[in-house]
Amino acid sequence: MYYITAVIPAFNEEKTIGEVIKTVSKVDIIDNIVVVSDGSKDNTANIAKGLDAEVLELSENIGKGGAIKRGINRSKGDIILFLDADLVNLKPKHIMDLLKPVISDNYQMAIGVFDSGRKVTDLAQKITPFLSGQRAIKRDVIEQISNLDVTRYGVELAITKYVNKNNIKYKEVILPNLTHIMKEEKLGLFKGFTERLRMYWDIVKMIDN
């Protein structure tokens, strides 16, 4: 039987991190939860600690790629489940649906794609499912991907490029009624849009690599 670790990178996600952890905790086959607080200045880390997650607190924000890399290093799982900390309406079934293709050994990675959550987030994922942060992947695959720590927002694309280049089997899994909070909602229109542009730039850099 596989040992499964959930790794949740989080940057100032006090509004949603608690419900995400509570949902993950309901899935019996997940052995431990690692939350990487990526330089958060709010109550993210304390909420996670209060829910008995293993919390890695980074003093400075190093970006999603770096946070994921730190989470992988801290984790013990043969299979690692990556979940965003800002998910809304996450259910145990979503998690099981992501894990099943990998647990069965039919696939080495599964990518979750939003559906029937909110039109704006559904559309983004249907156009670019390879950017989804919801994944289950075998440890021996993720550990072969170099420089994850410098990819920042381009981390999902880096993973997808690696599995495509190396003919690693993966499956896209529909996650109905799941969505997340957009950057503009978290940070306000101007700051959120600025952060979105920064995210796109990180992704473009990964495309060129």
Domains and CATH numbers, the chain: 4-181 (3.90.550.10)
- pTM (2 d.p.): 0.82
Answer with the residue of higher pLDDT: 158 or 187. 158
How many residues are given for the chain? 209
* Residue 127: predicted pLDDT: 46
Beta-carbon neighbour count of residue 16 at 10 Å?
20
Closest alpha carbon to 77 in 183, 24, 15, 1: 1
Q: What is the pLDDT of residues 183-202, one digit of tens each?
A: 455 655 546 445 555 655 55
**pLDDT digits over 24-47, tens only?**
999 999 999 999 999 999 999 999
pLDDT at 39: 95
